[in-house]
Structures are given as C-alpha cells and as structure tokens.
Amino acid sequence: MATPLIIDTDPGVDDAFAIALAARSPEVELKGLTTVFGNVGLDLTTANALRLLAHLGRTDVPVVRGSAGTGGAADVHGEDGLGGQALTLPENPRPIAGDDTTRFFADTITPDTVVAAIGPLTNIARAIEAGVEFPRLVVMGGGLGIGNMTLRAEFNFWADAKAAQTVIRRARPIIVPLNLTQRCVADTEFLSRVDPVLSGLTGTYRAYLAGHREQNHSRQDEGILVHDAVAVAEAIVPGTLQLAVHGLDIDDEGALVEGKHQVEVAEETDWPALRSFMEQRLSG
C-alpha cells in the first residue's frame, strides 16, 4: 500500500529533482503539490510545478497555489526558477486545483499521510494555525551553526522565519538541515546519467556553485546540491536518513538555535547508496 505524500514546494531546481523522485517512486502516492514563494515568486513556482508534472507524465497530480512572499534565489535557480529552461517543459493541460492550501491539507491529509516541505514554511504554518495536524512532516531547512542566506540562517527558514518558528514550536517536524544536505552533491557524472531534461535545468545552479565553491566546499565540476531530494527520500523511504533528537528553536532571523522543542534532526545518510537510489529512479 503506497504512502500518501504531499510536497510543499518552491520549484526551484533541486525541488524539481525531489518532485521527479517522488513521481517515480512506487512507495508513495503523490496526492498533490502545494506551491509557495521562495526560489522565485509564487506565480513562477506554481507554473513550474505544473510544467514539471506535465514533463513527468503526472498531470493526474493536483497543484494547489499557496502563499506569496518576498525573497528569492534567482542567482541560483535562474530568473524563471528552472535555470532558464522552464518554457522548454511542456504545458500542463490541467489548471491549478485551487488556491487554498489549508483547505487542501485539511481535506487530503489522512493518518498515514506524509508531507514534505521543501520551501519556505508559510503554507504549513498557516495550516497549523488553522488547526490542521501533520502526522509526519519532513522539512528541508535550517542549519546547525551554518547558513546559506546568512552565516547562521538557511534560505527556507530565513525566507519566513515566523512560519518556521510556528512549525518547530507546534508540529513535530523531522528537520533535514544544510549540515547534511550540503554534503549530498549530485555531481556531473550523476547528472549525465539521469533524465537529461532535469540535468538541463542545472546550468545556472552549477555556475553559481562554481563561483562560490570556497563557501560551498565544492569544486568546479561538482554539479548541484540536491537539498530537497534528500528530504523527500526520507519521506519516500523512512530510515534513509539517520535521525537524532535535539532541543531546538528558531530565532527571528530564521537560524536554528538551542531550545526546548524536541525535534528529530537528520544527521547522516549513506550518500553513495542514496545517490544510487536517486540515479536509478531519475534515469527512467
């Protein structure tokens, strides 16, 4: 019996790999994508979600438009959010299924549903404040002592720190932080072996990392960091990541700090094995 999965997303190049991984994993039934601002604005993240599903042959999956906001990472993901290639993806004949993500969560989440949140947490926080419960919530975000937007704050938590605070204080998320995901490099060999349309989205991201390798500890030819796919892999196959409980909170900048909220944090994974898992699923 496949596990129902909803992905809350701001596609986004690494989001695209995460969505493709879920769409091609029989362990989960992809019940919907809920979109949020983040890497680019909400209009583009929503349009990108629709086109990615069309490319993946999954127009059966509904897209629900969520929260707008400010901020962005066009320098990493391109002005269109998909490395300048968004319009090369097919149009989705199916329009968005709605614009109330709280209602969608409330109507769709069952006790065995897992939600993977791989963008800013605005949609998730709004649902929590409306009384929606998330039985299993896997969140890509945060950094323990590190950040990629500031020295201490990671993008998803930085982009809406108040929402991140709501999630860590009122839900019991599994947090998949930069400390782990920045070690998960989809190098150029990996990119040469997977769906060329996905690899074709990575030019801007690869150039960005090459230009910032000193702070990303990456070499010129190292490809991209698949932050979101690492988190979604845990949603697909629980136990993929080794978790440990930490007492944490999130400050007003969006930085993970010591605190009283006991949350599971992904600390380690067998990256060669996970890389092979992804390669196998994404090369079809």
Non-local CB neighbours of 276 within 8 Å, separated by 6+ positions: none
- Tell me how far, at minimum, the Cβ of 228 lies from Ca ion, in Å: 5
Give CA angle at 146 (140, 150), nearest 5°.
95
> CA-to-CA distance for 185 and 254, rounded, in angstroms?
24
| 119 touches Ca ion by CB under 5 A | yes
| 12 touches ligand RIB by CB under 6 A | yes
Overall size of the chain counted in residues: 284
- Tell me how far, at minimum, the Cβ of 229 lies from ligand RIB, in Å: 10
Q: In this chain, which of 67, 156, 166, 179 binds ligand RIB, going by CB under 6 A? A: 156
Q: What pairs with residue 186 in β-bridges?
A: 224
Q: Annotated active-site positions, please? A: 227
Among ligand RIB, Ca ion, none, the one that 155 touches (CB under a kind-dependent 5 to 8 A) is: ligand RIB
Query: Rounded to a whole number, what is the distance in angstroms from the first to the last CA of the chain?
Result: 22
Query: Which token pair is 205?
Result: 């991201």
> CA-to-CA distance for 154 and 21, rounded, in angstroms?
23
Q: Which residue has the tokens 């796919």?
A: 229
Q: What pairs with residue 29 in β-bridges?
A: 4
Q: x/- site string to Ca ion, residues 220 to 259, per CB under 5 A?
A: --------x-------------------------------
At 265, the amino acid letter reads V
Q: x/- site string to ligand RIB, residues 213 to 232, per CB under 6 A?
A: --------------xx----
Q: In this chain, which of 69, 72, 78, 119 binds ligand RIB, going by CB under 6 A? A: 119
When the beta carbons of 26 and 47 are compared against ligand RIB, the nearer one is: 47
- Tell me how far, at minimum, the Cβ of 44 lies from Ca ion, in Å: 13
Q: What pairs with residue 114 in β-bridges?
A: 5, 136
When the beta carbons of 80 and 95 are compared against ligand RIB, the nearer one is: 80
The residues of the shown chain that bind ligand RIB, judged by CB under 6 A, are 10, 12, 14-15, 38-39, 73, 118-119, 140, 148, 154-156, 227-228
